[in-house]
Amino acid sequence: MKLLLINNEFPPIGGGGSTVTKYAIKYLVRAGHEVTLVTSQYKDLPKREVIDGAKIIRIPAVRRYKDYCAPWELVTFGVSALVYVFFYSLRHRVDFVQAYFAVPAGWVAWMLKKLRGVPYAVYFGGSDIPNANPSRFARLYPVLTPLLKVVWRGAEFRTVCSHDLIKLAHEADPDTEFLWVPNGVDTARFKPINRTTNPKVKILFIGRLIPRKGFQRVVRALPQVRQQARVPFEVEVVGTGAAKSELDNLAEKIGVSDLIKYVGTVLYEELEKAYQYADIFVLTSLSEGMPSVILEAMGCGLPVVASDVGGNNEIVKEGENGYLIAGDDIDNLARKLVNLIDNADLRRRMGARSRQMAADYDWGRIMARYDEMYRKCKSKSEKLKITPQN
């Protein structure tokens, strides 16, 4: 099939949705599809290139930051993408469109179906489900929800990466079917390695330094962790963001700056090393879809301490491959971190279970499900085109 993928973000820009698209094109090309991705231009990135056998087309759009896109910037991509894919569809055959996120890509796919009759599907990753990310979009959801319903009702199918998000989607639209297809992990790349023991137990956080990602909770727990832990430890932070200065001020105020090491942005092509040389992974977000960073940490055999929110609690099992922390329970967060810091055998046991569980989320398995759905849609479309013989 000739597949057209639309996503405003693609490595090296963006977050989890960017990673999802990266692996989608790789496995869809392997499955025999002709894949083209339309995404955002950013700084000096090539306007055209071939990656993993797929054509990557970067179109003009306003994007000021590598890992963050404001709502109005998404609008500029949506308008640009609609114009581009319309004329692209006049010059090239498109069998099916896969939109990553309902806004803006889903809106573009819906418009293309109206204008050119091209069927589409939508991947929902979190914030594009009503009330999934109230800390950022509470004021926009009442306005966006009618648009979201139009977009997802026009799709051939709708995939959602966590059961918690499906529940929220059904609260907004009980009559529409949403399919659970989780995000995945490249288990051949994100895997444990044999290495020497760290002189200090390394707790790893990977994510944008914004309030929603919840690193402030980790900082607030560190005084208790320092007081209770019997083994030396440090926290390594991979990522940047607008909240870094605020986090620095908090750490200095409570006297834990010496425990935190910021390494900034790490190229995704080298990111597995961050996990492989860590001992514990932590992600205490306020909300999530299904975070790729936890799956990658699991693939690398790390125990995980995560907030008890949708997505996280589907892949982190309490006492099995990690711990779940409810809300702002800083005392419990500190206790669980200390348990892991002081107990190497516990880390190894939970880490081994993480690695075992990650196999169920291998990208090969996940994308095989998409491949099957695309082919079913094509078969259905071809049957509808057949004119009965009289």
Radius of gyration, CA atoms only, the chain: 22
- Sheet of strand 280-283: strand arrangement: 260-264, 233-238, 201-206, 280-283, 304-307, 322-325
Do 121 and 211 share a structural domain?
no
pLDDT for the residue numbered 390: 46
Assigned token pair, 87: 């004329």
Specify if 80 maps to a domain: yes
Nearest alpha-carbon partner for 309 in 328, 324, 322, 298: 324
Specify if 162 maps to a domain: yes
Specify if 192 maps to a domain: no
Do 136 and 69 share a structural domain?
yes
- Alpha-carbon separation of residue 303 from 32, 191, 245, 295, 339 (angstroms): 37, 13, 29, 11, 11
Do 352 and 367 share a structural domain?
no
CA distance 161 to 223: 35
Do 327 and 275 share a structural domain?
yes
Do 123 and 67 share a structural domain?
yes
Specify if 84 maps to a domain: yes
Give the pairing of strands 34-40 and 54-59: parallel
Specify if 195 maps to a domain: no
pTM (whole model) above 0.95:
no
Do 138 and 37 share a structural domain?
yes
DSSP output for 103-141: IIIIHHHHHHHHHH---EEEEE-STTSTTS-HHHHTTTH
Domain with 89, as residue range(s), is: 2-184+362-385
Specify if 191 maps to a domain: no
pLDDT for the residue numbered 263: 95
DSSP one-letter code for 370: H
Q: Strand, coil or helix: what is 60? A: coil
CA distance 268 to 289: 20
Specify if 26 maps to a domain: yes
One-letter amino acid identity for 292? S
Do 221 and 178 share a structural domain?
no
Question: Within the chain, which residues score under 50 in pLDDT?
Answer: 389-390
Instruction: Work out how many domains the chain is built from and give that number.
Output: 2
Do 171 and 153 share a structural domain?
yes
Do 214 and 177 share a structural domain?
no
CA distance 117 to 1: 16
- Sheet of strand 120-124: strand arrangement: 48-51, 54-59, 34-40, 2-6, 96-100, 120-124, 157-160, 179-180
Do 373 and 349 share a structural domain?
no
- Whether residue 12 has a cis bond before it, omega within 30° of 0: yes
Do 152 and 35 share a structural domain?
yes
pLDDT for the residue numbered 145: 85
Burial degree of 367 (CB within 10 A; 0-12, 13-18, 19+):
buried
Do 48 and 26 share a structural domain?
yes
pLDDT for the residue numbered 279: 98
Looking up residue 325, the CATH number of its domain turns out to be 3.40.50.2000
